[in-house]
């Protein structure tokens, strides 16, 4: 089984210019792990200090937001096209998904505090 994954320009600084990969991942968590294995330089940028995938990164499968398809529970099908697109502004995370949940302990990226000055 193979899915095509299109990476955004913002990633390319950390992927030596690679824009597209073929993946044998079966679902979103596997895909993220595979991307990080293939591009170790991307890993620290893809995840925050707590190891959570940054919430401004969105995944789409065949034009549909993966959150409407079941998110992590969605099983990739052979030939699926997966798009990775950072939010242009703001961002969001699905209700009840702890992977994206904001940490209450750190400030900066995910504290939820607008005026954080520790950056």
Partner 1 sequence: MALAYELRCRECGKTYPNTPLSICDACFSPLEVHCDLEAARGSFTREKIAQGPDSMWRYKALLPVPEDYVPATPAGWTPLLAAPRLASRIGAKNLYIKNDAVCLPTLSFKDRVVSVALANAQIFGFDTVGCSSTGNLANAVAAQAARLGLKTYILVPSDLEPAKILNTQVYGAKLVRIDGNYDHVNRLCSQIAERYNWGFVNVNLRPYYAEGSKTVGYEIAEQLGWRLPDNIVCPMAGGSLITKIKKAFKELIALGLVEEKEVRFFGAQATGCSPISTAVKTGADHIEPQRPSTIARSLAIGNPADGIYAARAIRESGGWAEDVSDVEIVSAIQELAETEGIFTETAGGVTTAVTARLYAHGRIKADDLTVTCITGNGLKTTDALAGAYEVERAVRPRLSDFEAYIEEQTEDRAILEGASVR
What residue ranges bind partner 1 (CB under 8 A)? 6, 8-11, 13, 45-46, 48, 54-58, 60, 63, 65, 67-68, 83, 85-95, 100-102, 108-109, 112, 114, 119
* Whether 2 contacts 22, CB under 8 Å: yes
Give the contacts of 98 (CB within 8 A, at least 6 positions apart).
none
Closest distance to partner 1 from the beta carbon of 2 (Å): 21
Taking the complex as a whole, the smallest distance from the CB of residue 108 to partner 1 amounts, in Å, to 7
> CA 85 to CA 99: how far, in whole Å?
18
CB of 27 to partner 1, least distance (A): 19
23 or 55: whose CB is closer to partner 1?
A: 55
- Whichever of 1 and 108 has its CB closer to partner 1, that residue is 108
């Amino acid at each position: 089984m193979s899915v095509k994954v299109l990476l955004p320009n913002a990633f390319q600084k950390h992927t030596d210019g690679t824009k597209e990969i073929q993946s044998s991942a079966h679902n979103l968590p596997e895909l993220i792990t595979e991307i990080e294995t293939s591009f170790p330089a991307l890993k620290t940028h893809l995840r925050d200090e707590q190891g959570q995938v940054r919430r401004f990164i969105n995944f789409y499968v065949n034009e549909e937001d993966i959150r409407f398809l079941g998110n992590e529970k969605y099983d990739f099908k052979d030939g699926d096209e997966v798009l990775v697109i950072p939010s242009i502004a703001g961002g969001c995370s699905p209700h009840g998904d702890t992977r994206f949940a904001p940490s209450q302990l750190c400030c900066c990226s995910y504290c939820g505090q607008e005026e954080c000055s520790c950056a």
